[in-house]
Structure formats: C-alpha cells, structure tokens
Amino acid sequence: CLRCPTLLLRHWKLLGQALGSDLNPDALSLRILLNAGALGRMAFIKELTDQCKEESGLEHALSAMREEWAGVTFRLVSCSTLGHEVLDDAVDDVLMLCEDHLLRTR
C-alpha cells in the first residue's frame, strides 16, 4: 500500500498524524513503520491509499476536462427579436460536453 505512487506529501502527513510520528517518505524503513505501530493501523493505511488512487484519477479526469474546454469557443450572435446577443448554434455541443463532464466526475 505505501509504495503507491499517488501518495503525496499531504497523505504522508495524515499517516504520520495517525501513527503519532513524523514520517519522511524519502527516509522511511520497515523498522520505522513497525516502531510507529503501522501494523495496528492497516485499515487506515488501506483506506488512505484507496483515497489517494481516487484523488489521482479525479485529478487526471479534471485535467483532461480542462483541455477539452480550452478548445471550446463561445460565439455570440445578435438576436434582433430579443435585442441582445445570444450563443450561436453550438449551445447543444456545450451542453453535451457539460453533461459528459458531470457524468465523469460522479
């Protein structure tokens, strides 16, 4: 679990707090973990690493969504009947993209 590449410094701090120890992931050893009582906190460690994986997946999904939105151009056209500008015919495409992104984040 602790070799998970998605564990960030904030996660190591949480783990250190749970173990009552200041953990340095760069200088971590099995002896340090055992002395800190990691065996008794395996359920917490598993939950933390699962959370890290979910966060990482969400971060990647959000990054991909940002890239998709970067290519979207909102074009306004004058609407003589309303007296102001409205979005052009691309509204359906924008709504589809919004719905797709909402589904991906659930």
pLDDT digits (tens, 9 = 90+) for 56-72: 998 999 999 999 999 88
**Residue 84: which pLDDT band, with cuts at 50, 70 and 90?**
confident
**Boundaries of every domain in the chain:** 1-61, 72-106
Condensed to tens digits (0 to 9), the pLDDT of residues 7-30 reads: 999 999 999 999 999 898 889 999
H runs (alpha helix) in the chain: 9-19, 30-36, 42-70, 91-104
- Tell me the residue type at 54: E
Please give the model's pTM, rounded to 2 decimal places.
0.68
Phi/psi at 53 (nearest 5 deg)? -65, -40
Q: Determine the pLDDT at residue 80.
A: 81
Q: What are phi and psi of 65, to 5 degrees?
A: -65, -40
